[in-house]
Structure 1
Amino acid sequence: MMDIVIEKKKIKNIIIRVEDGVIKVSCPKYMTKDEIHGIINKNRENIEKLRIDSENKERYKNHLFGKKLPTDDEKEVEEIYRRELPKVLDDIFDKYFKMTGLGPCEYKIRKMKIRWGTCYPTRGLININLKVCERPIKQIEAVVLHEIIHLKYAYHDKTFISECEKYMPDYRSVERELKC
């Protein structure tokens, strides 16, 4: 049984998530503990899936390019990420510019909660999530390629995917690994 943390807020719906092996519940202020536990019990199967997803996301925590770092200190880890990621990204952007003829006017490294990257084609800007540097280089390349192709194609349609596969034949399998 996982620990449960309940936070009552001025919201309309209950939100259940799993982080670091803890069930975190945000719920309306008026809900009773019995109601909350009843909803948790009804959703055990979904919560188990969330737990597995959470563990998979933690798999690369405190890694640099897929290899475990000798430290778990968050501040130190972030400093390493900020120092090392630009070096790798410069090479990857250059590699795919030579292959595709596409490249951003500018790229930025940002902390993002959900996405690996974002692209703003009209501004020629690509943002890359700082956390991508936890992943192996091949996965980082897939993120960069994905965002570069967005400079040409806005939607994730067949044309977009085939364009990605033209430059990285195993693109789909690498992208699946990124979702774990």
Structure 2
Amino acid sequence: MNKLKLPDSLKDIEVVINRKKIKNIIIKIDDECKIKISLPFGVPNNYVEKIIEKREKWILEIISQKKKIKNNFDENFIYLGKSYQIQINNSMEEFCQLKNGKFYINIQKNSFENRKKLIDKWICENFYDLMIELTMTIGEKIGYTPIKIKFRDMKTRWGSCNSMKKSITYNHQLYKKSIYFIEYVVLHELAHIPYPHHQKTFWEFIEKIMPDWKERKKLGNI
């Protein structure tokens, strides 16, 4: 534990201080809800304490978010709109498996960080392939296919399309949504290849291919 004097709300939180050759102070909250601080040599503890006090509200908000995510991983795995109970097995061979209505995590060292890595690996190997196949199938059907398909975490959108490069990027978190909604996202991004805007012609194209797109779209609050 640290020797810093922290606000009462943070007294039970572990703080890890790393002094190194940098110019600025960097504060991060890791997946285990520890406060990690990187700072230049020579910065006194009382200065760090003042910074933590000023950022107390932000730190508590991030910790709260991290705990919610952690609890979700501890209890259930959401995939394609369905919830699966997580079962953790100690195993030298590490892998995840969706089987018989449960999501199995076979893991050697059971920690949140290791579980998250295994789950992300499973998503890359299973969901990404599904998305690529779905995109190409719908794209061939409507006559527009992308040259490149990418995935990354996005906070405000489920997908994006670079019409000039014919490149589509999907939100990694889409794996939690139902196929009913995912199909809408795929069509929406593919439609941007011929229509790089949200004007009337774009929505007319969507309507022609997917008449129930409005109902599907409602399922995608982000």
| Fold match (TM-score > 0.5) | yes
User: Percent of aligned pairs with the same residue?
Assistant: 23
1:4 aligns with 2:15: yes
SS in structure 2 at match of 1:71 = strand
Alignment of structure 1 residues 7-156 onto 2, 5 Å = 7-20=18-31, 21-58=33-70, 61=73, 63=77, 64-65=79-80, 67-68=83-84, 69-71=103-105, 73=107, 74=115, 77-85=119-127, 86-91=129-134, 94-95=137-138, 102-108=144-150, 110=151, 112=152, 119-128=161-170, 131-132=172-173, 134-137=175-178, 140-141=182-183, 144=186, 147-148=189-190, 151=193, 152-153=195-196
Structure showing greater Rg: 2
Q: How far off is 1:10 after superposition?
A: 3.9
Runs of at least 5 residues in structure 2 that lack an aligned partner in the other structure: 1-11, 85-102, 108-114
Q: Which position in structure 1 is the counterpart of 2:220? A: 174
Give the AA of the match of 1:123. Answer: K
Q: May I ask how many residue pairs the two structures share in their alignment?
A: 167
Distance 1:45 1:78, change over 3 A: closer
Higher helix share: 1
Residues 108-145 of structure 1: CA deviation (Å, up to 9, x unaligned) = 4x5x465665543322122445x436523356556545
Which structure exhibits the higher relative contact order, with contacts defined as CA atoms closer than 8 Å and separated by 6 or more residues?
Answer: 1
Q: 1:31 to 1:80 in 2, by over 3 A?
A: same
| Structure 1 stretches lacking a partner, 5+ long | none
CA distance in 2: counterparts of 1:6 and 1:142, whole angstroms: 46
Question: Deviating runs (4+, > 6 A) in structure 1?
Answer: none
- For normalisation by structure 1, the TM-score amounts to 0.63
What's the secondary structure of 1:169's corresponding residue?
Answer: helix
Whether contact under 8 Å (1:118, 1:128) holds in the other structure is: yes
Output the CA distance in 2 between the equivalents of 1:56 and 1:146. 30
CA RMSD of aligned residues (A): 4.0
